[in-house]
Structure 1
Amino acid sequence: MLQAPPVSGPQPAPTRPSNNPGANRRGGFGGGRSGGGRGRSGGPRRERPRPDYEHKVLDIARVTRVTKGGKRFSFRATVIVGDEKGQVGLGTAQGTDLAVAVQKATLQGRKNYVRIAMQGDTIPHEIFYKFKSAQVLLKPAEPGHGIKAGGPVRVIAQLSGLRDMTGKLISRTTNKINIAKATIAALSSFRHQPKATVAGKKVELKKEQKSKSEKIN
C-alpha cells in the first residue's frame, strides 16, 4: 500500500480562537451588509405638507394633430380645482403625457379661481344659467339636505364647499366642459353683500317707515 510522501517546507501555525465574539463575524461589529454606519437612520419620517386645494379630473381625451411629418398624439385633461372654502376653478391643458396634462390643467384651474357667495352651506337663491348648449338650474336647500346633483355639477359643488344644494341639467348635452363652465358661471354670478351693509339698510328702512307713520298721524 502506497503512502503519501511527507510535505517539506514550513507549515502554517495553528489559529487560536479569539476571546472577542465580534471578531469571528464577517466584518466585525461595524462591517457586513447589515451593520455599521451605512444603514438608514431610524428617525421619524418627515410628513409632506398637504396642499390647500383639492382637484378632480373631470374629462380626459386623446387629441390627434396632423402635421407634415405625420400624426402627433397628445392628451387633453380637464380638471376641477377647489379649496372647499368658497373658491373653485376649471382648467384645461394638453400634454404628450397624461400626468403632464393633468398637472398643467391643475395649475391653470388654480389661476382661474372664482369666489362664490355662499349663504351658510347653500346658495342664496335659485338661478338658471345657459352657456352654449348647456343649461343648468341650481336651487338652494335646507341644512342636511345634501347635494342632489350629478356629473360636473356635483363635483363643482363639493370642491367649492357647498353642502346643501339641488342641481338639474335642463339640456340634453353631454359636453362636460360646457356643463362645468355653465355651473361655475352660475355660481360666480351671486354677489357678495356684507352683513353690516345689510343690517344698516334694514335700520334705515325701519327709520323711514317710522317717520312716514308719524307724518300720517
Structure 2
Amino acid sequence: MAREPGNRGRRDRDETPEFADRLVAINRVSKTVKGGKRFGFAALVVVGDQKGRVGFGKGKAKEVPEAIRKATEQAKRQMVRVPLREGRTLHHDVAGRHGAGKVVMRTAPQGTGIIAGGPMRAVFEMLGVQDVVAKSIGSQNPYNMIRATLNGLANEASPRMVAQRRGKKVADILPKQDVAAPTDSPADMQPADA
C-alpha cells in the first residue's frame, strides 16, 4: 500500500471543516485603464466555528471563486472570540457603530431565534447565537453593518470578565435570586373530588 507523494503520512486537514462560512455580498467592480475598463469581483465573507468565534474578510479578484477564497482566508485570520450565555445568546444588550452604520443587539429568551436582517444574521449564525433580537439603524452597507455588529460584540462581557475587572466575585455581580417554595409537584396535583 503506497502512500500519496508529498503528504508524508499527515492526515488531510480538509476532511472535516473546522469553520463554517457564509457569503454575504459579491460585487462587480471595475478599474478604468488606458484601454478601457477591467472588471473584477469583490466578495464579503463571514466565517465562524458556531461556538463563539467569528470573523469577516474581503477579497478581490478577476474571478468570483478566487475572490471568495481570498475573503475566506482573511476572515479566518481575523477571528475574534465572543462570550455567549448558555452557548445560545448574548450576556447583555449591546450597541455597535461603524461609520454611519449602527446596530442594536438584545438578548432573547430561549426559542426566540435569530431576529436580525441581512449581514447581521450571517454573523450571528456563524457565531453560534441561537436567540437574539437585532436592529440596524442608518447605513445598510453590508461592510458597515458587519463591522458595527463586530464592534458591538467586542463590548460584550461575561459576568466573570466584569467581576475580574471590578475585583469582585461572580456571585456579587449577578442579581440575587430568591429561593421560592417549589411549585406544585405531581403528587399535589390530585383531582379535587378524589
- TM-score interval, normalised by the smaller of the two chains: 0.7 to 0.9
Counterparts of 1:90 and 1:50, CA distance in 2: 21
* Stretches of 4+ aligned residues off by more than 6 angstroms: none
The one-letter code matched in structure 2 to 1:155 is A
More contact order relative to length (CA 8 Å, sep ≥ 6): 2
Give identity over the alignment, percent: 32
Q: Any residues of structure 2 matched to 1:33-182 within 5 Å, and which?
A: 49-120=15-86, 121-171=88-138, 173-182=139-148
Three-state SS of the structure 2 residue aligned to 1:170 is: strand
Which SS does the other structure have where 1:117 is aligned? coil
1:201 corresponds in structure 2 to 169
Tell me how far apart the structure 2 counterparts of residues 204 and 176 of structure 1 sit (CA, whole Å).
Answer: 40
Which structure is larger by alpha-carbon Rg, 1 or 2?
Answer: 1
TM-score normalised to structure 1 length: 0.66
CA distance in 2, matches of 1:183, 1:108: 18
How many pairs were matched up? 157
Change in Cα spacing, 1:72 to 1:129, as seen in structure 2 (3 Å) is same
- CA offset at residue 194 of structure 1? 3.8
1:191 CA drift (Å) = 3.1
Question: Does the CA contact (< 8 Å) of 1:117 and 1:188 recur in 2?
Answer: no
Q: CA deviation at 1:203?
A: 6.6
Q: CA deviation at 1:75?
A: 0.5
The answer on whether the counterparts of 2:160 and 2:170 sit within 8 Å (CA) in structure 1 is no
Unaligned runs of 5+ in 2: 1-11, 174-194
Offset, 1:135 = 0.9
Between structures 1 and 2, the one with greater strand share: 2
CA contact (8 A) 2:94 2:155 kept: no
- Measured after TM superposition, the shift of residue 129 of structure 1 is 1.7
Q: CA deviation at 1:68?
A: 2.6
TM-score normalised by the chain length of structure 2:
0.74
Q: Which residue of 2 aligns with 1:190?
A: 156
Q: CA deviation at 1:170?
A: 2.1
Aligned amino acid, residue 53 of structure 2? Q
- Separation in 1, partners of 2:171, 2:25: 50
